[in-house]
A and B are shown apart, each in its own frame.
Chain A
């Protein structure tokens, strides 16, 4: 049973339950009103309504799973950063489970804080930017399946969104635009510099990133996550395309904007960068969204290079996928707390002088491997 069938079953059961009421009302009430309720019941039972509601429920399930994972990721982030910097990290809130509840407590505290809009800020842009940022970051997860049975699909056969990988990459790239919007509308020199840096940074990492992804598409011959993962049943793409994998991880860190590449935030130079004027729960949302994007990045790296949900069958497929995504995230954290921040004038040099030739070389290797028929 895949996610679509599961959701469809729940929606069908709910609609049947409620339709009892509508049809009973339709029978009981006078003619015009009764016809109306009967029509409501008919509409609820129609195929179009059922499939739309099913997809909404699927989305809800995927978002909830994503947010639970995000809590784990934040916990790993804080715990691991603590251990690397020789302190304990979250400890007391949720003592028995290693301080796991600390993020919930922090979120609760941020919820009760006041929302402050600077007097000279562009109000529409200021309030719109976080929504687009968080929304687009959650959108990345829409097409990434955890297994053949767990992912957002539009029909009972379990076929996922065609060109899902392309969509995920595209959704990933929306964020710099919102960062620029937020930086501009905050009307603050630090936020503006942060926003501009985000756009400048995107110029440098996006091209090598897409070239390495293109090499994966070349080998797999498909834009679909399920096909790409199935092609890795025998050998992970990370092995023939090792250079590409490394380039992809580096570009992904730039995409997620964690520390070696967090130029738009750069708290040593720009206060808090483009998030300077955002306080309270908006700050919390950005904090959470960084974890969402790390999670999406880990999932992308897993699906494209690390064989997705393939693994020994004593662990369920979905868990395999998550284990790999968590490992990628852990490597991210390791790099984050090891390396100093790249300077803004070095960023383009790294992207175009170092990563781009490697990405092209990787594309060449992929072409050779494909034409020789090794994969």
Chain B
């Protein structure tokens, strides 16, 4: 009692004054702060991690989200779409999803997003599995503001490239180098993306329209890069068919034509050429190659 001497009245009166104001605020002037949840819904922020939506038009079906999912709750499903043809798109098992958002961050085309929808409970475990069709929302990604940093970069279409070196001459930052492709007797422009300033002069210089400026999202993750062991490559083209980003081109190697019995020359052997600027690091070429010709450290078979 001694230490509270002289302050006792204030110790009683101040809390009473505070709660008195609270009563006036919640009972007479307004309402309590609490949101009556099932009737009124809280305005959730944009970064809220709820149910995912997949933009089918942006998604390239690379499966990076499936690979990175720490709970293994995603899978790729083969679909037949009237608009997009034969595609592969991810599905999510919300019973196991921990809403970490890694799939959203790893997506190279920002096709997958987490919405504020969180009422996902169901009576059956099986109904928590959402296939790609349930996740599809092609308009969501365009409605919300972009959060991922992206850059406008020149992207090479190697099938149109003639190796004329005009782009390398035009580049003010000297970030385009013509690199010879082994055994193909051609060279292709390789762009050092770190130095590129998105000026677009190389695109303007290209007479074949092999270079186009495209929006590329920055990746937060280390991307594994495929490496070709040329001695093992048979030129079957399985990797090029598997690549979701069309970064692999099959080029003919002159001088490897077999002489047929009738003396004519046959078709030359082919080899795979990677355009690493387009690669999303998914490892599908590595998995598709049956001759162990592609090496990709850090990717599961």
CB distance from A24 to the nearest CB of B (A): 62
B22: which of A86, A335, A346 is its contact (CB, 8 Å)?
Answer: A86
B15: which of A86, A88, A338 is its contact (CB, 8 Å)?
Answer: A338
Residues of chain B contacted by A87 (CB below 8 angstroms)? 32-34
Residues of chain A contacted by B36 (CB below 8 angstroms)? 88, 91
Task: Confirm or deny: A339 has a beta carbon within 8 angstroms of a beta carbon on chain B.
Answer: yes
Task: Confirm or deny: B162 has a beta carbon within 8 angstroms of a beta carbon on chain A.
Answer: no
Taking a contact as CB atoms under 8 Å apart, the answer to whether B26 and A334 are in contact is: no
Taking a contact as CB atoms under 8 Å apart, the answer to whether A83 and B23 are in contact is: yes
Task: Confirm or deny: A156 has a beta carbon within 8 angstroms of a beta carbon on chain B.
Answer: no
Taking a contact as CB atoms under 8 Å apart, the answer to whether B19 and A334 are in contact is: yes
Residues of chain A contacted by B214 (CB below 8 angstroms)? none
Taking a contact as CB atoms under 8 Å apart, the answer to whether A80 and B22 are in contact is: no
Residue in A83, A87, A349 with the greatest tally of chain B CB atoms within 10 Å: A83
Within 1-53 of B, Cβ neighbours of A (below 8 Å) are at: 1, 8, 12, 15-16, 18-20, 22-23, 26-27, 32-34, 36
Taking a contact as CB atoms under 8 Å apart, the answer to whether A338 and B32 are in contact is: no
Taking a contact as CB atoms under 8 Å apart, the answer to whether B23 and A346 are in contact is: no
Taking a contact as CB atoms under 8 Å apart, the answer to whether A82 and B32 are in contact is: yes
Residues of chain B contacted by A80 (CB below 8 angstroms)? 23, 27
Taking a contact as CB atoms under 8 Å apart, the answer to whether A349 and B15 are in contact is: no
CB distance from A327 to the nearest CB of B (A): 13
Taking a contact as CB atoms under 8 Å apart, the answer to whether B16 and A338 are in contact is: yes
Within 52-78 of B, Cβ neighbours of A (below 8 Å) are at: none
CB distance from B269 to the nearest CB of A (A): 76
Taking a contact as CB atoms under 8 Å apart, the answer to whether B19 and A346 are in contact is: no
Question: 1/0 per position for A69-105, CB-CB distance to B under 8 A?
Answer: 0000000000010111011100100000000000000
How many angstroms from the CA of A339 to the CA of B20 in the assembled complex? Answer: 12
> If A339-B15, A346-B1, A349-B1 touch, does A86 touch B32 (CB 8 Å cutoff)?
yes
B16: which of A83, A91, A335, A354 is its contact (CB, 8 Å)?
Answer: A335
Taking a contact as CB atoms under 8 Å apart, the answer to whether B23 and A334 are in contact is: yes
CB distance from B24 to the nearest CB of A (A): 10
Residues of chain B contacted by A177 (CB below 8 angstroms)? none
Taking a contact as CB atoms under 8 Å apart, the answer to whether A337 and B34 are in contact is: no
Residue of A nearest to B27 (CB): A83
How many angstroms from the CA of A348 to the CA of B283 in the assembled complex? Answer: 78
Residues of chain A contacted by B20 (CB below 8 angstroms)? 334
How many angstroms from the CA of A83 to the CA of B29 in the assembled complex? Answer: 12
Taking a contact as CB atoms under 8 Å apart, the answer to whether A337 and B1 are in contact is: no
Taking a contact as CB atoms under 8 Å apart, the answer to whether B34 and A88 are in contact is: yes
Residues of chain B contacted by A354 (CB below 8 angstroms)? 8
How many angstroms from the CA of A300 to the CA of B50 in the assembled complex? Answer: 56
Task: Confirm or deny: A353 has a beta carbon within 8 angstroms of a beta carbon on chain B.
Answer: yes
> If A91-B36, A346-B1, A349-B1 touch, does A84 touch B16 (CB 8 Å cutoff)?
no
CB distance from B26 to the nearest CB of A (A): 4
Taking a contact as CB atoms under 8 Å apart, the answer to whether A88 and B32 are in contact is: yes
Residues of chain B contacted by A353 (CB below 8 angstroms)? 1
Residue in B18, B19, B27, B36 with the greatest tally of chain A CB atoms within 10 Å: B19
> If A335-B16, A338-B15 touch, does A86 touch B34 (CB 8 Å cutoff)?
yes
CB distance from A241 to the nearest CB of B (A): 20
Residue of A nearest to B1 (CB): A349
How many angstroms from the CA of A339 to the CA of B9 in the assembled complex? Answer: 12
Residue of B nearest to A335 (CB): B16
Residues of chain A contacted by B19 (CB below 8 angstroms)? 84, 334, 337-338
Residue in A80, A86, A338 with the greatest tally of chain B CB atoms within 10 Å: A338
Residues of chain A contacted by B16 (CB below 8 angstroms)? 334-335, 338-339
Taking a contact as CB atoms under 8 Å apart, the answer to whether B15 and A83 are in contact is: no
Taking a contact as CB atoms under 8 Å apart, the answer to whether A86 and B23 are in contact is: no
CB distance from A245 to the nearest CB of B (A): 16
Residues of chain B contacted by A337 (CB below 8 angstroms)? 19
CB distance from A342 to the nearest CB of B (A): 11
Residue of A nearest to B15 (CB): A338
How many angstroms from the CA of A179 to the CA of B18 in the assembled complex? Answer: 34
How many angstroms from the CA of A334 to the CA of B16 in the assembled complex? Answer: 7
Residues of A that sit less than 8 Å from B by CB: 80, 82-84, 86-88, 91, 334-335, 337-340, 346, 349-350, 353-354
Query: 28 A-B pairs, CB-CB below 8 angstroms?
Result: A80-B23, A80-B27, A82-B32, A83-B23, A83-B26, A83-B27, A83-B32, A84-B26, A86-B22, A86-B26, A86-B32, A86-B34, A87-B32, A87-B33, A87-B34, A334-B16, A334-B19, A334-B20, A334-B23, A335-B16, A337-B19, A338-B15, A338-B19, A339-B12, A339-B15, A339-B16, A340-B15, A346-B1
Q: Beyond the given A80-B27, A339-B15, A354-B8, could you list 18 further A-B residue pairs with CB under 8 A, ordered by the A residue number?
A: A83-B26, A83-B27, A83-B32, A84-B23, A84-B26, A86-B32, A86-B33, A87-B34, A88-B36, A334-B16, A337-B19, A338-B15, A338-B16, A338-B18, A338-B19, A339-B16, A340-B15, A346-B1
7 tightest Cβ-Cβ pairs between the two chains A and B: A338-B15, A338-B19, A349-B1, A83-B26, A87-B34, A338-B16, A86-B32
